[in-house]
Amino acid sequence: MSQILSVGLGEAVVCKDPRAVLVAYGLGSCLGVAMYDPVNRLAGLLHAVLPTSGNGYQDNPYKYVDSGIQALVQAMEAAGAQRRYLIVKLVGGANMLLSSALSHTFEIGTRNVQAAYSILEAMGLKVAGVEVGGNVGRTVKLFVESGKLVVRRIGGVEQTL
């Protein structure tokens, strides 16, 4: 039987238990960053809220895409993952504001995705899969046993990424 581990706003979970499923619910403009090391069978999921910390993330590095990705990689490595094996996938980053004036001003979802690509490139990590953008929320499930990532758009069907 699966053990569901919920990953809330500004949180990350790293897990090696093959029975566990890491889940981030209702990703709108937030970005889910899934990492999996298939050799060491270790999974991690970040639920970041904003793109950059401006280096002021002492309270919670996982709230921000830039510091959250760095902290997640460090936590994965501390748990036994090796960076060279990490498979990285991005989910979310929607632009939820429908008013064109507001959406162009904030574009938090787009900025979250851009921040992820920037920090991942700087860390030498490549993105293996994406389900980002648009204006609809998503829920993501990362299965620790296999590294399978399942994405469900609000009002839509599930797909494996």
Residues noted as catalytic: 30
Token pair, residue 129, equals 């899969």
Report the distance separating Cα 65 and Cα 131, nearest Å.
Answer: 16
Query: H-helix or E-strand containing 110?
Result: helix 108-122
Q: How far apart are CA 142 and CA 36, in angstroms?
A: 9
d(CA 36, CA 43) in angstroms, rounded, equals 4
Candidates 82, 90, 76; CA nearest to 16 is: 76
Q: What is d(CA 48, CA 51) in angstroms, rounded to the nearest whole number? A: 8
Structure tokens that stand for 116 in this block? 């992820």
From CA 74, how far away is CA 77, in angstroms rounded?
A: 5
Block residue for tokens 């994965």: 76
